[in-house]
Amino acid sequence: MFWRSVVGKLWFTILFLVCFVLFILTILLLEFFQNYHVLEAEKHLLQTADKISEVVDRFEGDQDLLLSTTAMVKDPESRAVITWGPDQVLISESNSENLPKMDAQWFDKDPELSAVLEEGVDVKKVASLESSETGVMVVGTPLSDNKGAVFVYQSLDTIEETSEQTTKIIFLGAGIAIVLTTIFAFFLSTRITAPLIKMREGALELAKGEFNTKIPIRTHDEIGELAMAFNRMGRELKFHINALNQEKEQLSGILRSMADGVITINRQGDVLVSNPPAQQYLEAYEFEKNHGVWNKEDALPEPLQELFRSVISEENESMTEVTLQGRSWVIIMTPLYDRQKVRGAVAVLRDMTEERRLNKLRKDFIANVSHELRTPISMLQGYSEAIVDDIAESKEEKNELAQIIHDESLRIGRLVNELLDLARMEAGHIQLSIEPIDMETYMHKIIRKFHGIANEKGVVLTYSINQNLKTLHFDPDRIEQVFTNLIDNAIRHSESGGEVLVTVDAGRGEWVASVHDSGLGIAEEDLPFVFERFYKADKSRKRESKNYKKGTGLGLAIAKNIVEAHEGSISVHSKINEGTTFTLKIPDMNAEN
């Protein structure tokens, strides 16, 4: 782990380079000093030999003085040999026990040494003696007039000892240099890499999303500039990340608030982004096909897959319409490009159920109005032609035909008035006249109006009022119109012997009224549509008895608009052969409203 760090690499590199340089330098220094000591020894011995030769020239006749003077001139560790020939050799003493005495035979054996005597030249050489374990350095110089020669020699141990001391000093210096270099390299590498370690930690913090991380700037060199650039990069990165997050949140908010579904698909057909309306479609498809819950890992629905393949292959916008779970969806898919290459597609899903329903209601409205008007108009035309053609001969027959014509004209008038009222209500032009109403008197009047019709059909009509409800505030004429429609429908759809119960009770900040009958009830599939215009659960459109007028199919739609104008709500609950209950809840409006 240490060698993988910058500190280890930099420290090892510096130490290796210094050790390599020191190694080369040590070898060169050792070679240099070894040669230097040899040369210095040769030079010193040669100088000694020259001095002794001068002494010999001066005191040649006195050997004792010559030896004493020679002992003073030479080093104690060396020997001096003065020779005038094979039989005349004068050897000085030496303090070195390892240094043997040189005799005349040694000169005869060595031609270089003999050359000093014969040719009168100086000689410097390293030789070995048979009586010595170590070599010696010999320097020879001829005497004046070539009468003889002076040889000075010393053991190589002295030179080697000097070289060893020098070597020790060099190795000690190299060791100290290596130790100091190690400390310096480690300090320098730590000093250099400390900011890099901080930057690495800062980079890891940035990777975790901590964009406020800053690197301290302690120097003004390249590393300091790098720290400044790192901090600037962190600020810029934070700015761009925040901008991307804002754009992402904005796009997410737009997608969530869109009424249309949006699905983004990559080239492999995987869903990348979808908003809630699109999720509704996907979940509805999965429930209908597999009775499960759709997950993002699931494959695209088959209609989307076919459209996706078409868009990717043709690289053109495509559209289709599918019906799912009773709802109509229009799907428009467009390719997404990455420069010149198609990288996916985006699908827009529009729920057209309401538009289709409104279109159907418009067509049904025209058909219903035409039907409702055609019947009374046909009867008016037929009965009026009967009167004009004198088909009715007696006065009673003419009166009966005229009464039918009158009733049908009233029916047309009611239909037109109810259509106008409904149009005004749906346009928001309904005007309410709120006033305090005594509920007991008000309900008694409404119930009494229907007693005759109920008795005629054999239906028991009763009502119940909470005694705590003395006075309420609402528009009496409009609410009477609601009660009239509900009670009229309840009596009309009840068989003889049936019962209609009207109740008024108190709720939380509101009053609740209900009209319950024990009639045939409304089919479950018809319940969601009972408050629509011209909707009739009885599809046969058969005529009622002539004593009871058929409704126009607008009463419940008008009642719903009146209740909602009072900021209330109306609902219906019914079961076949068990009866129907209409319930309206209206807030207790005060007189100021």
3-state secondary structure 287-343: HHHHCCCCCCCCCCCHHHHHHHHHHHHHCCCEEEEEEECCEEEEEEEEEEEECCEEE
CA end-to-end distance (rounded Å), the chain? 84
Name the fold adopted by 7-163: Beta-Lactamase (3.30.450)
* Average pLDDT for 39-63: 77
From residue 5, alpha-carbon distances to 10, 52, 215 in Å are 9, 69, 20
Cβ neighbors of 326 (< 8 A, separation 6 or more) are 353
Per the prediction, the chain carries an average pLDDT of 78
**pLDDT value at position 551?**
56
The number of angstroms, rounded, from the C-alpha of 498 to the middle of its chain's C-alpha atoms is 68
DSSP state of 134: S
From CA 240, how far away is CA 211, in angstroms rounded?
Answer: 11
For residue 574, list its beta bridge partners.
580
CATH superfamily of 432-587: Histidine kinase-like ATPase, C-terminal domain (3.30.565.10)
Cα separation of 446 and 162, whole Å? Answer: 141
Where residue 462 falls among pLDDT bands split at 50, 70, 90? very high
The number of helix segments (H) and strand segments (E) in the chain equals: 13, 17
Give pLDDT tens digits for 506-523. 877 889 999 999 888 888
Using CB atoms within 10 A of its CB, is residue 113 exposed (0-12), middle (13-18) or buried (19+)? buried
The whole-angstrom distance between residue 427's C-alpha and the CA centroid of its chain comes to 49
Segment among 358-362, 417-421, 446-450, 472-476 with least mean pLDDT: 417-421
Task: Output phi, psi for 97, to 5 deg.
Answer: -75, -25
Mean pLDDT of 96-100: 67
* pLDDT digits 0-9 by tens, 134-168: 677 788 788 776 677 777 777 777 777 777 888 88
- Between CA 521 and CA 519 the distance in angstroms is 6
In sequence order, the β-bridge partners of residue 581 are: 516, 573
The two three-digit tokens of residue 303, written as one number: 């209609």
Cα gap 347→330, rounded to integer Å: 10
For residue 307, is pLDDT > 80? yes
pLDDT at 371: 63
Please give the residue that has the higher pLDDT: either 443 or 139.
Answer: 443
State the pLDDT at residue 537.
57
| Contact between 511 and 588 (Cβ < 8 Å) | yes
| Mean per-residue pLDDT, 45-63 | 76
| 396 vs 372, higher pLDDT | 396
* Overall average pLDDT of the 375-386 stretch: 76
Q: Which CATH architecture has domain 356-424?
A: Orthogonal Bundle (1.10)
Q: Look at the domain 258-350 and name its fold.
A: Beta-Lactamase (3.30.450)
Using alpha carbons only, how large is the chain's radius of gyration in Å?
A: 64
Q: How confident is the model at residue 544 (pLDDT cuts 50, 70, 90)?
A: very low
178-202: average pLDDT: 78
In sequence order, what E strands does 31-134 have?
Answer: 78-85, 88-91, 123-128
User: Average of pLDDT values for 455-461?
Assistant: 90
For 207-218, how does the pLDDT look when each residue is reduced to its tens digit (9 = 90+)?
Answer: 777 777 777 777
- Report the alpha-carbon distance of residue 495 to residue 250 in Å, rounded: 61
* The Cα angle at residue 303 between residues 298 and 306, in degrees rounded to 5: 95
- What was the pLDDT predicted at 503? 92
Quick one: pLDDT at residue 540?
41
- Cα 157 to chain centroid distance, Å, stands at 81
**Which residue in 273, 274, 275, 305 sits closest to 289, CA to CA?**
305
Q: Which helix (H) or strand (E) holds 442?
A: helix 439-457
pLDDT one-digit tens code per residue, 235-292: 888 888 888 888 888 888 888 888 888 888 888 888 888 888 888 888 888 877 776 6
Distance, in Å, from the CA atom of 333 to the CA atom of 307, rounded to the nearest integer, reads: 7
Query: What whole-number distance in Å separates Cα of residue 400 and Cα of residue 412?
Result: 19
